[in-house]
Chains A and B, each alone.
Chain A
Amino acid sequence: MSHHALERVYVRMLFDPAFVDRVYADPRAALHGIELTETERDNLVAVDRRAWGHDPLRRYRTLRTLSDEFKATTTLVLAATRSLGSLDAFFSSDEFHRTVQGRGLLALAFGDYVARLVAERALDSPQIPEVLRLEAMLARCRRELESAKRAGARGTADDPDARIGLAPGHAVDRFNANVVAAVNVAERYLFEVGLMPAVALCEDAPRLDRLPEVSSDPAYLLALPGAAGVSLMPVDADYYALLNEFSRGPLRRSAAVSRTVDRGVSREDVETMLESLVDEGVLAVE
């Protein structure tokens, strides 16, 4: 099926002029490892190379769509780098090319790219990794929810052998206590400049407020589907201890109970929480 491989190379060339340069300079080297025939490689470089750049806003348009899901992260990264190019470079990154050629999800690749950018450039904004982790969790939940297949429950919550897992679109994680406050700072800034985008030209335009410090206290956040998509709900440490047992996949009920008890939560509380989480659809019985 090399025509599919060729289609994906086509997409990569539309997005990345540096890749176009490499393909035209040495097609065999630039396309090494991709299942293409000699004729197909010749076909690519027979195109007038100027044609690949006919849509100069393609990268920016796509970046805007990706930024919708990583609003706070991209805002904080741009504030730290002062460079649109820092994010635009995603479309020339290994993460982008691997994902397109491998038929993967661009949003998740973008999250990976930003994580690497933050690490490599040691950006002076300690909240970014946590904010990125939070927004990436939400992005994963949205996709999981969309691709979830309707499956009937085959067990009951009180069956010790029943396997229980987080229902599609749910996830839980531990963050620093100020992560949501940091997201709110970014979103408030975006709201203010969004009222009149031309303020970007002004020296007295709204600025990003000072971000709260990274707290040593934890915030346990549950992502869950709601009417307006996936939203967040804080949970207490005991609920987190139980829910986090399911983060790597479904478990037998008995295993989830005993592991959570081992973490210092009373068996009675675990049993009660399990029942309510199943009732509320946060956990699903397989």
Chain B
Amino acid sequence: MIENLPRLGVGLSGEFGSASKGIDVIGLRESRPDLVHFFEYGADLDRGLDDHVVRWASAGLPTTYHFLDINLAEREDADARWLETAAERARAIGAAWLCGDAGLWHFGPRDRGHQVLLPPVLCRESAYETADTIALIQEETGFAVLPENPPAVVYLGDLHILDFFAIVTERSGCGLLLDCAHLAIFQHLMGHAPLTGLDAFPLDRVVEMHVAGGSPASVGGFEYIEDSHAPEPVPATWEIFEYAVARATNLRAVVYECEYNPPEACIPNFERLNRAFPAVAAQVAL
């Protein structure tokens, strides 16, 4: 399935209303068409599509649908209403695929006050359930689903997060979204070097990568990297990105998650990402 996915190039993330508070992707595209080639729209059933993504899609520009409300690690969460509505909206904006953090976007039912972003328990049983949920969504919606390694300050389970996702792709056959910033957070928390585990990771299954800024944070002397989406990625994120981009033979898209920053603060990194993952092939594919 992943071999047939289109090459999109470098894109920007966004969500409902983000264009009015941060980077206007349409404006950025108009001023610098060489930097942003697709828009990854973060969506949930409650808020749906905003005018901005509709305008972007109406111009025939590529999108992906990043879900913010499905617990891939919980099979029963993939109910008929979510499957129908998410697929309908993804089709409405011409999304190339569905993607998003694999874990828990809410605890218990999808309801007010239940929102949270937690990683899956890093064990084999949870990886199997995640894979089975992905297979179900792919079958029911017709879209490829790319699970993303989520950020956290606490991870539970006995597997390295890369081993968890290796099991997921092996069992479901899905592509993967490697978030380099989230992996840097995990490696830092666990006391690992940035590239630990990548040598055995199936990078040929990676279809999309994310790069985002992080900020050092601490609570009571406990130090961690906050997934702040500030403009500047931490050095470990770049190290992971550079390693993976050279080896991800099926890579189709790179997203710079920076939508709430001033555009001028993000231009140099957009330029760097485009140098690493050139847009030429993307333009041909489009």
Chain A interface residues (CB < 8 Å from chain B): 1-4, 6-8, 10-11, 14, 39-40, 43-44, 47-48, 50-54, 56, 62, 65-66, 68-69, 99-100, 103-107, 110, 143
Contact = CB atoms under 8 A, between A and B. Distances in A.
Contact of B118 (A1, A10, A69): A10
- With most chain A CB atoms within 10 A of its CB, the pick from B125, B154, B158, B217 is B154
A7 B125 contact: no
B154 A50 contact: no
B116 A51 contact: no
A217 B235 CA distance: 70
A101 B263 CA distance: 43
Nearest to B157: A43
Contact of B121 (A3, A50, A65): A3
* B contact face: mostly helix, strand, loop, or mixed: loop
Given A47-B154, A51-B219, A7 B111 contact: no
A110 to B, nearest CB: 8
A4 B157 CA distance: 12
Contacts, number: 85
A97 to B, nearest CB: 12
Interface string B114-126: 1110101101011
B74 A106 contact: no
A68 B46 CA distance: 16
Contact of A103 (B109, B118, B123, B220): B109
B260 interface: no
B109 A105 contact: yes
B107 interface: yes
- With most chain B CB atoms within 10 A of its CB, the pick from A2, A51, A56, A62 is A51
Given A1-B125, A4-B74, A6-B121, A51 B154 contact: yes
Given A50-B221, A51-B222, A65-B113, A7 B158 contact: no
Given A7-B118, A39-B158, A99-B108, A54 B113 contact: no
A69 B73 CA distance: 29
A3 B104 CA distance: 12
B246 interface: no
Given A50-B219, A51-B222, 4 more contacts: A3-B121, A54-B219, A62-B113, A103-B108
A3 B111 contact: no
Contact of A106 (B111, B123, B156): B111
Interface in B86-130: 104, 107-109, 111-116, 118, 120-121, 123, 125-126, 129
B224 interface: yes
A103 B77 CA distance: 12
Determine the interface band of chain B, counting residues with CB < 8 A from chain A. 20 to 34
Given A3-B126, A7-B118, A10-B156, A69 B107 contact: no
B225 to A, nearest CB: 11
Contact of B113 (A14, A50, A107): A107
Contacts of A69: 112
Given A68-B112, A69-B112, A104-B108, A48 B121 contact: no
Contacts of A10: 118, 121, 154, 156
Given A43-B157, A66-B113, A54 B217 contact: yes
Contacts of B219: 50-51, 53-54, 56
Contacts of B281: none
25 contacts: A1-B125, A3-B125, A3-B129, A7-B73, A7-B118, A8-B108, A10-B121, A11-B116, A11-B118, A14-B116, A14-B154, A43-B157, A47-B154, A47-B156, A48-B222, A50-B220, A50-B222, A53-B219, A54-B153, A54-B219, A65-B112, A65-B113, A66-B112, A68-B112, A143-B111
Nearest to A58: B116
B131 to A, nearest CB: 14
B26 to A, nearest CB: 31
Contacts of A2: 125
A4 B104 CA distance: 11
Contacts of A54: 153, 217, 219, 222, 224
A6 B116 contact: no
Contacts of A50: 219-222
A56 B217 CA distance: 13
A4 B109 CA distance: 13
A103 to B, nearest CB: 4
- With most chain A CB atoms within 10 A of its CB, the pick from B113, B114, B121, B157 is B113
A153 to B, nearest CB: 21
Interface string B52-86: 00000000000000000000011000000000000
A7 B118 CA distance: 9
A1 B74 CA distance: 10
A39 B157 CA distance: 9
Contact of B114 (A3, A39, A48, A106): A106
A53 B154 CA distance: 10
B244 to A, nearest CB: 27
Contacts of A48: 222
